[in-house]
Amino acid sequence: MSGKKIIVVGAGVAGLSTAVRLRIQGHEVSVYERNSHPGGKLADLQLGPYRFDLGPSLFTMPQYIDDLVKSARKNPKDYLTYHRKKTVCNYFWEDGTRFSASGDTDEFISQAAQTFGESERSLNRYMSNSKLKFDATASLFLEKSLHRLKTYLSFDTVRGIISIPKLNLFSSLHQTNQTYFKNEKLVQLFDRYATYNGSSPYKTPGIMTMIPHLEQFFGTYYPEGGMHQIAQALYKLAVDIGVEVHFDTDVERIRIENKKVRGIETSTESIVADVVVSNMDVVPTYRYLLKDQPAPEKTLAQERSSSAMIFYWGINGSFPELDLHNIVFSDDYKEEFDAIFNRKELQADPTIYINITSKEDASDAPENHENWFVMINVPGNTGQDWDSIITKSKELIIRKLSRVLKRDIEPLIHESHVLDPRGIEANTRSFQGSLYGAASNDRNAAFLRHPNFSKAIKGLYFCGGSVHPGGGIPLCMMSGKITSEIIADDYR
């Protein structure tokens, strides 16, 4: 295969992953990024003496990054070091119930059974079924294109089809969880995994019960130096093997002639290329970079995933009951998701996620202080009055945390910054500020996502959270792998 000149638009996790794999294939690869740093949402923020991870805060399946580094014949430890967490997450409810989820599956099952009054047999059966779903479908839904014929001519696909009756595709995640457990709090705990792809547990299919297996079996981790070090590692790897990365360069157009890619245009120059890969959200890719081309309107009109309201607070105080990951649950989970996806508004009792990296790295906050990343799920930006929502959200969050943690939180906030869907959309060009592209509130969602290639334009490809297989760091890494393999097949 002769080397092609390839341009990747966007230096997010998927864009850098794709660029590295294409460079390994022998292509001349250049990445163009409008921001001054790599990583897209995976950046950090300094507020006075406090450091925060700006975006994604959960690190799972680090083997995908290690495998990428090894494929470039480099040592993974030269790029990223991390450690496994003994505690996955601390959970809190308003009635005083607390549960610390162990990263050890047997310990998790034993402690959950005791806390929630469920049998260990039910929990073992649930986790076994979670593993079965992952084993039956991972190679099909996570590792291959769903839009290429050869995917369906394999044993893995046959195995996945045979397993369909066991995948709970025709019941929601919530309904599936209810068949295993009677305790509403334990059902809610497992319902929350719908938020890993920005969906509703009352709509997303029961196949999503595979996610707890990923978290328990593969573990949760903390990268030394913070989550943004993942982006830095991928950027360093790309540069080390000869990928050119251009920051502060806004791509304005992908040039198409006779249904074939010819290159890109920036604000200052026109650059020729054989192949262009867009790591930008697929909606603005068509709306801004491909204005003169027909767009797949039905695909672009799919329901979007949830967005987020994030408060970054420097806290003057220490909370030993909190860990790296913490969740304070809503008393009315169904109403919360109804507000997000149906009414597109804030619910009065939102579930609150708190990420505190100073629990792992003391340098992220002064002594006896903590850096709180406080997030609630909200709808995407469709024109709401976000300034008033910010004011209301802050008030609700402070009241709820003060009740649950039994300390007045407001006077402890010494530094503060807020990010809402408008900012997420402006900073990362994620349509409506959605965190995961299209939502997975449909059993056919995986097949309805935009493919990793254009069926109409030769040389045009896509990667990232808005296309197959979806959002989140592990899936974006897999997106890069799938896209690079499709390009290898097309130009073999």
pLDDT digits (tens, 9 = 90+) for 89-107: 999 999 999 999 999 999 9
- pLDDT at 257 (0 to 100): 96
Q: 119-122, long-range: CB within 8 Å, 24+ apart, which pairs? A: 122/180, 122/181
> Cα 176 vs. chain centroid, distance in angstroms?
23
Residue 447: pLDDT over 90: no
Residues with Cβ within 8 Å of residue 184, at least 6 apart in sequence: none
Containing domain of residue 202, as a range?
104-218
Tell me the longest C-alpha to C-alpha distance in the chain. 66
Residue 294 in any domain: the answer is yes
Digit-coded pLDDT (tens) for 306-334: 999 999 999 999 999 999 999 999 999 99
169-183 mean pLDDT: 93
**Does residue 3 register a pLDDT over 60?**
yes
- Over residues 150-165, the mean pLDDT reads 53
> Do 137 and 188 belong to one domain?
yes
Token reading at 249: 């360069």
Q: Is residue 129 in some structural domain?
A: yes
> Mean of the pLDDT values across residues 386-400?
97
Does residue 447 share a domain with residue 298?
yes
Residue 237: the pLDDT is: 98
The answer to whether residues 149 and 169 belong to one domain is yes
Beta pairing, strands 28-32 & 5-9: parallel
pTM of the model: 0.93
pLDDT at 161 over 60: no
- More confident position, 429 or 417: 417
What pLDDT digit, counting tens, does each position of 213-234 carry?
888 888 999 999 999 999 999 9
- So what's the pLDDT on residue 441? 83
Asked whether residue 69 is assigned to any structural domain, the reply reads: no
Q: What is the mean pLDDT of the chain?
A: 92
Contact 305, 39 (CB under 8 A): no
Residue 485 buriedness (CB in 10 A; 0-12 / 13-18 / 19+): middle
Instruction: Provide the 10 A C-beta neighbour count for residue 394.
Output: 18
User: Would you call 135 exposed, middle or buried from its count of C-beta atoms within 10 A (0-12, 13-18, 19+)?
Assistant: middle
Dist CA 205 CA 91 (whole Å): 24
Asked if residue 19 belongs to a domain, the reply is: yes
How many structural domains are present in the chain? 2
CATH number for the domain spanning 12: value is 3.50.50.60
| Whether residues 112 and 173 fall in one domain | yes
Domain boundary, last residue among 201, 218, 235 = 218
Look at residue 139 and tell me whether its pLDDT is greater than 70.
no
Same structural domain, 120 and 213 = yes
- pLDDT of 446 over the 60 cut: no
Q: Has residue 123 been placed in a domain? A: yes
Mean pLDDT computed over 355-377? 98
247 lies in the same domain as 198:
no
- Bridge partner list, 185: none
Mean pLDDT of 279-301: 95
Tens of pLDDT along 235-252? 999 999 999 999 999 999
Q: Specify whether 157 is located in the same domain as 211.
A: yes
Using the predicted structure, report yes or no on whether residue 140 has a pLDDT greater than 90: no
Q: Which amino acid is at 93?
A: W
> Do 131 and 197 belong to one domain?
yes
* Residue that is last in its domain, among 162, 187, 218: 218
Question: Which residue, 218, 248, 264, sits at the end of a domain?
Answer: 218
Question: Where on the phi/psi map is residue 222: left (φ > 0), alpha (ψ -120 to 50), or beta?
Answer: beta
Whether pLDDT at 448 is above 80: no
Residue 156 inside a domain? The answer is: yes
Does residue 242 sit in the same domain as residue 208? no
Range 111-124 average pLDDT? 97
On whether residue 146 sits in a domain, the answer given is yes
> What was the pLDDT predicted at 147?
57
Residues 158 and 245 placed together within one structural domain of the fold: no
Higher pLDDT, 48 or 470: 48
pLDDT, position 137: 74
Does residue 201 sit within a domain?
A: yes
pLDDT at residue 152, rounded to an integer: 45
Q: For residue 52, name the pLDDT band (cuts at 50, 70, 90).
A: very high
∠ CA 347-349-355 to the nearest 5 degrees? 105
What confidence category does residue 440 fall into, taking pLDDT thresholds of 50, 70 and 90?
confident
